[in-house]
Structure 1
């Protein structure tokens, strides 16, 4: 399917709304569903570098919002936080807020008060409200630049499995998590198109796959999720982990992409309105292939006129060198498993009757919007 048809497919889907089982709060156990609140003493400075290299005061009323999912944008977000923290021209009273989104899938907009000159970082955002309400909520107190990191669903699924299968695992919650919790869902469809990424039957199928693999094999009846990732055959471990990541991250990622497409159409259909949201969606798959080019674009989008071009080049070089070093020497956040194993697992998912179709539908959405600015 070409990009035009893919974009048409995106516009057909109103939104995906998850109705989770009553115990949904325990999906991640003590892991990513837990609020992690941290305030760092840094801010986007209200300064501008003119053509002569002289720093000038500017009236920049932007708030900055970074949205990420499992292993999407972890390293570059760290670099952006560090860059903001180390800049010498700091507007007094500013902050950088790091928050991990609560596992909340209500149809209400998230509670957000985005203030000018502040950087907000959210993991696994749940934006299950209509586009108009989302615009009003996010931009109530400031214009907002949104940096949205996404990843191809197939590579995300494989990376998720290999990442949590590491010995020792980088995240403690994997030991006690129930990957099958919350696998009961409904989709709301556009009244005119009837298009959806997943049907109710697909969620039931995914639940059946998960329950057939979890605590059913000899020697694993009383073992936790992590032991299953270590001891199941790789293809089965991958399927179990994919059941979990689809609910925990992928649906939220696809929904957010579609929501931002709706925001773009909302502004296009109401040309008299001020466009208070600017969105850059970046593919982590492309970042891996070209860290400097993609990273440079992200730094330019976030830092804009507040730092010189030389500084942004320097930051992109640092990102490129750091990423290459981690890939070469190994790092828990940069999964460097055997290339042949990754290729085999990707091929398995793509050729699977169920996963190939479901993740393929999500792939059409992620491929259609990556690496361009909306707004």
Structure 2
């Protein structure tokens, strides 16, 4: 069986793909990797690299469509271009993806916010297309977060705060540093927002107090994957703790990873004991309901926020999650994580064969 690892760039996730390829050998599977641009629809061939299991190196190759594709493409803050999307869609029709991914954050929110077992955990979210809409929400709430619909890693997230003097402070985090910018007038703010909205599609949410007593933002990242029996398993979890007064806790924007135990010792007030029951309810419900609403999924990164009243919020559901927090805090889980795409592919092969696909 040939498993194709698809990424946005040749260099993306190279180490992860190499570990996967080494693991594949022990499970009698072959691995290739490629970028969507190199899919040739006419010849039904793909140019990329195949893994040489003997020498443990990647070699340039041309190959037929893989039996299964593990899609790890990231497209930054916006959708992929039309040509790439066309090739990915064609590949989905002509090969089997082990996970078909999720649409943008807005579509996911719109679909799940009315689910009776989940609706209490989603913060109010609106899609904003004009600067006036954002300013109206700011006037009403005095403190709002705007985030890109297709963003990840904490990029492009801004906190807007109304000051007592009637100005607006815009805060963001880049490369571990917090930046504040003051807009004295609405017209200045409007101009800046309009520029932002011409580049990306944005969502707006009330600012939630998801921080410790020392004003460090934090959230809980949980990595879930399916096993060879099509059951969802938790592979690992950890708290992402941001710097004091920063707006996000993402590791890419300067946050640190802590085990739940270490975080609870450091900030015992932050996570009440009863919260674990609610987390388990979300983990039992969310993956199956998300998959039922959209398409087949293989893995999920679920980000949960816990406010100062102990209320849990679903902040993000990512169908192409990173593994950094598990690799850092629970490295013993990595062996199972490397095996998981292949074990699930075997399940799918048997399942699809029975279904006559």
Q: Same fold (TM over 0.5)?
A: no
TM-score (norm 1): 0.25
Higher strand proportion? 2
Between 1 and 2, higher relative CO (CA 8 Å, sep ≥ 6) is seen in: 1
Higher helix proportion? 1
TM-score (norm 2): 0.26
